[in-house]
């Protein structure tokens, strides 16, 4: 029954701009994250441990907008959001606008485990991480040459100097994971740097439970990617769960309705979802979405564009 799905954001690099090396690097990052999550599930571990393990790998990989490789805000700084939710008890933990924690998802997990709050922000999140003995880093750790270039193009766009529109990849991205373990437990985790040139202090949907992240046993686990304001207004992740729980919608129907609503809003979006049977849906309305799955039989598949999702190996 165990299965796992991940995403690395719907803000993919246009196919024409991908070099063979960067294309393969992104696929390798997805594969490594799936391997990490599946190692937990294959050993009989919990879904919540699997999604954390997968997201840590994505946060450490420069191809994705989370942790090392996160986008820069309007001031040229990094502010990081993350959330994790355990479907067994609805336990949840999140941080927003953190600036100095190497792996935001690890901090979110500790927030969940302490149980005295659900969401910590900014300096409070970093202080908590230090108190918990988690690894702290300078802002420079998160910055890559590519993200600096994206920030520069956003700055030029604001000044009216661009000769072509910015791509989805230059604007935003997110990473996330959803899992079902052998006992049918569900969990979801999401982590992001937000969107390029965002207002200082802005918080998106990733750390808002019911918007970009949600998990409830017997129903569904969801992680979303795209312009967070749309997901917050729609309550997208919880809406999917409500359709399944109260209307008995199928997983496919529930996520299709959610995507149709986001598309009608003009939102470039993607989401991954898994239900209590281990069935998975990975949906996006953009040119591509970094994504991957491990099915119950151990078959590992990854893809970036609509036509390149394929089996890579069997674990």
Nearest to 53 by CA among 139, 179, 159: 179
Q: Which of these is catalytic: 101, 174, 219, 225?
A: 174
The dihedral formed by the CA atoms of 314, 36, 77 and 236, expressed in degrees to the nearest 10: 70
Which residues, including other chains, have CB under 8 Å from residue 171's CB and lie 6 or more apart? 11, 150, 154, 195, 196
d(CA 95, CA 270): 22
d(CA 192, CA 64): 9
CA angle, corner 164, sides to 160 and 169, nearest 5?
Answer: 105
Tell me whether residue 196 is one of the annotated catalytic residues. Answer: no
Which residues, including other chains, have CB under 8 Å from residue 163's CB and lie 6 or more apart? none
Phi, psi of 160 (to 5 degrees): 75, 30
Length of the chain: 315
Question: Which residues does the annotation mark as catalytic?
Answer: 174
């Amino acid at each position: 029954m165990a299965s796992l799905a991940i995403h690395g954001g719907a803000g993919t690099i246009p196919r024409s701009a991908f070099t063979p090396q960067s294309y393969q690097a992104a696929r390798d990052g997805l594969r490594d994250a799936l391997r990490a999550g599946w190692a937990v599930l294959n050993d009989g571990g919990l879904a919540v441990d699997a999604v954390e393990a997968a997201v840590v790998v994505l946060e450490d990989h420069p191809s994705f907008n989370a942790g090392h490789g996160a986008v820069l805000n309007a001031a040229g700084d990094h502010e990081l959001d993350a959330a994790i939710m355990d479907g067994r008890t609805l336990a949840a933990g999140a941080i927003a606008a953190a600036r100095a924690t190497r792996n935001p998802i690890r901090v979110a997990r500790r927030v969940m485990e302490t149980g005295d709050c659900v969401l910590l922000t900014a300096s409070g999140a970093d202080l908590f991480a230090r108190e918990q003995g988690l690894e702290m880093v300078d802002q420079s750790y998160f910055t890559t040459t590519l993200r600096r270039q994206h920030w520069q193009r956003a700055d030029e766009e604001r000044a009216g100097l661009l000769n072509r529109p910015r791509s989805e990849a230059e604007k935003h991205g997110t990473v996330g994971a959803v899992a079902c373990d052998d006992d049918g437990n569900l969990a979801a985790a999401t982590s992001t740097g937000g969107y390029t040139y965002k207002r200082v202090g802005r918080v998106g949907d990733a750390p808002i439970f019911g918007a970009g992240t949600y998990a409830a046993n017997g129903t569904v686990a969801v992680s979303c990617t795209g312009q967070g304001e749309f997901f917050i207004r729609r309550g997208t992740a919880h809406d999917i769960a409500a359709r399944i729980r109260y209307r008995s919608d199928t997983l496919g129907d529930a996520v299709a309705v959610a995507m149709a609503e986001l598309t009608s809003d003009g939102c470039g979006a993607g989401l991954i979802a898994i239900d209590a049977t281990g069935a998975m849906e990975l949906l996006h309305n953009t040119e591509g979405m970094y994504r991957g799955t491990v099915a119950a039989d151990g078959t590992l598949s990854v893809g970036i564009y609509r036509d390149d999702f394929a089996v890579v190996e069997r674990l």
